[in-house]
């Protein structure tokens, strides 16, 4: 079975500050990990993904995440927050062995950016 | 290129009424999914399909039925709506990971359907 835990349902940062959203996963097989972003009243948009290979992955809008197997973590970071980053962020896990390719989501973290 | 389209986008029902949400994708994806989103609970899988004519239960299937008569369409039905089914419903689709190494499980989402049951 797979699961995802996102630490902190709300995170608030100042514009220009570091963004750090935490995600820990549980998986008995090699995981594929994803970060999605959801802007108000919209669907989910893929930010970045890790499948195999390089453990530091870069995504859209200046975000990146590092897969750390020993810590079972996949934290999302951005060096400098922008007002437009305010949204809800979801971490998700699946695997090649997952029947139907089902994606298991965390509870979500709402990011607020203060001017 | 429309991607994943959901209809309707908003609906208000009375308890006991029935309705169907329609999802259509134009990316020739094998897999399709219905999730519901509730505050503080993330997205939970209701039902999914791995191909035309197939359906399977997800995490929270009770009170819902689905059908996949055509590859591009995935219907979600509520036979007798209850207030607990008030939620935002998302349809998603993806390629079959087993068909090609390049298929890595990414889901493509619709914009959601907001359902209120009074």
pLDDT tens, position by position, B58-105: 999 999 999 999 999 999 999 999 999 999 999 999 987 655 555 667
pLDDT digits 0-9 by tens, A84-100? 999 999 999 988 777 77
> Is B105–A100 a contact, with Cβ atoms under 8 angstroms apart?
no
| Partner residue opposite A34 with nearest CB, options B50, B106, B110 | B106
Q: What is the mean pLDDT of residues B38-50?
A: 92
Dihedral sign for Cα atoms in the order A90, B58, A31, A70: positive
- As given in the structure block, the two tokens for residue A66 are 């590092």
Residues of A in contact with B33 (CB under 8 A): 102-103
Q: Cβ neighbours of residue A33 under 8 Å, at least 6 residues apart?
A: A23, A25, A49, A50, A65, A67, A74, A91, A92, A93
pLDDT digits 0-9 by tens, A37-70? 999 888 999 999 998 888 999 999 999 999 999 9
Residues of A in contact with B97 (CB under 8 A): 96, 101
Residue in chain B lying closest to A5 (CA): B42
Tracing tokens 């493509």 back to the chain, one arrives at B108
- The minimum CA-CA distance between B91 and chain A, rounded to whole Å, is 9
Edge-first strand listing for the sheet containing B19-25: B4-7, B19-25, B73-78, B65-67
Residue B42: which of A23, A48, A44, A105 has the closest Cα?
A: A105
Residues of A in contact with B107 (CB under 8 A): 44, 46, 103
Residue in chain B lying closest to A8 (CA): B40
- As given in the structure block, the two tokens for residue B111 are 């914009």
Residues of B in contact with A36 (CB under 8 A): 109
> Is B40–A107 a contact, with Cβ atoms under 8 angstroms apart?
yes
Residues of A in contact with B40 (CB under 8 A): 9, 107-108
In B80-95, which positions are buried (b, 16+ CB within 10 angstroms) versus exposed (e)? ebeeebbbbbbbbbbb
pLDDT at residue B97, as a whole number: 66
> Is A49–B104 a contact, with Cβ atoms under 8 angstroms apart?
yes
């Amino acid at each position: 079975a797979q699961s995802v835990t996102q630490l902190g349902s709300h995170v608030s940062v100042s514009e220009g500050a570091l963004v750090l959203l935490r995600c820990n996963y549980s998986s008995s097989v090699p995981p594929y990990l994803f970060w999605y972003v959801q802007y108000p009243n919209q669907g989910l948009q893929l930010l970045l993904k890790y499948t195999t290979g390089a453990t530091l992955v870069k995504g859209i809008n200046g975000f990146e995440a590092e897969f750390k197997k020993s810590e079972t973590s996949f934290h999302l970071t951005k060096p400098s927050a922008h007002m437009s980053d305010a949204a809800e962020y979801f971490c998700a896990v699946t695997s090649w062995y997952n029947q139907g390719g089902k994606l298991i989501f965390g509870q979500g973290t709402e990011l607020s950016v203060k001017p | 290129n429309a991607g994943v389209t959901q209809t309707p986008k908003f609906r208000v029902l009375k308890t006991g009424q029935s309705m169907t949400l329609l999802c259509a994708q134009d990316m020739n994806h094998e897999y399709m999914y219905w999730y519901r989103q509730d505050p503080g609970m993330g997205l939970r899988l209701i039902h999914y399909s791995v191909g035309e004519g197939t359906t399977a239960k997800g995490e929270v299937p009770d009170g819902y039925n689905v059908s996949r008569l055509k590859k591009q369409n995935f219907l979600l039905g509520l036979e007798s709506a209850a207030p607990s089914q008030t939620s935002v419903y998302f349809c998603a689709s993806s390629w079959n990971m087993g068909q090609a190494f390049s298929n890595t499980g990414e889901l493509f989402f619709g914009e959601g359907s907001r359902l209120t049951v009074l």
